[in-house]
Amino acid sequence: MSPRTHKKCKLAMLRPLCALVLCVMSVVTAPAQQKHTHVHRAPEPRPAQKVESPAGGRPGVIRVGYDEVAIPDVEVLDQHGRKARFYTDLFKDRVVVLSFFFTGCTLMCPLQGQVLAKLQNALGDKMGKEVFFISISKDPKNDTPQRLRLWARKYEVNNGWTLVTGTETVMSGLLRQLIGEEPGPQLHNPVLLIGNDRTGVWEDAEGLSSPDKLIAIIERVSAAKSQAHPDQQ
């Protein structure tokens, strides 16, 4: 039944005396009306175009897909209380596994700590020479270098694995820049960022993945060439 017919029938229900006349008129005029009736359908959705993500960006920038952030070169502290430039001393020209944690975390951080400890052992001699870990505290107010050292002992942190803290002001800006979050001991997803700073090739990974899966990503970003600099080895 056309929209006009349906409307007339609704009116007929409100006006019983005219019901029969209206319905008969609708039936008689329906064929003529149908010739001029346009059916409006929602447009068919266009298939999404497949867009290949660039292989990489450039040094000093973390790029995953089309999201990218510049790596700040602010002054931070490691678990030994030593000062370091965040980009220059920890990232520059290195293959890095980047994570976020806080020592008071009792849920995801211990699980991720165990995964990273196993990954550290699986990397063997490459750890601290070809691959470096950086774990950034999300709770700088409480995570002093002393607390970081205690956490490091628990997970047998060796050379090449730097735990990062600093002043609340510096860490607040750092966390906002990297992950868009404010510092504090709140729940968070155990995500890892794995990249090669020299070529700008980065990938993200589930923080509770197996060491074998993470090593495969490390090898991939280590071997990849930047699309922006294809001549780089």
According to CATH, where is 3.40.30.10 located in the chain? 61-223
- Kindly report, residue by residue over 38-60, the tens digit of the pLDDT: 333 434 433 333 333 335 689 99
Place 66 in a pLDDT band, splitting at 50, 70 and 90: confident
Place 226 in a pLDDT band, splitting at 50, 70 and 90: low
pTM: 0.74
Q: What is the percent of the chain with per-residue pLDDT over 70, rounded to a whole number?
A: 73
The 8-class DSSP code of residue 113 comes to H
- Kindly report, residue by residue over 165-203, the tens digit of the pLDDT: 999 999 999 999 999 999 998 877 889 999 999 999 999
What tokens were used for 110? 């211990």
- For the domain made up of 61-223, give the CATH fold: Glutaredoxin (3.40.30)
Let me know: does 135 contact 161? Beta carbons within 8 Å.
Answer: yes
Between CA 19 and CA 176 the distance in angstroms is 69
Q: If 0-12 CB within 10 Å is exposed, 13-18 middle and 19+ buried, where does residue 202 land?
A: buried
Place 65 in a pLDDT band, splitting at 50, 70 and 90: confident
Q: What is the 3-state secondary structure (H, E, C) of 13-60?
A: HHCHHHHHHHHHHHHHHHHHHHHCCCCCCCCCCCCCCCCCCCCCCCCC
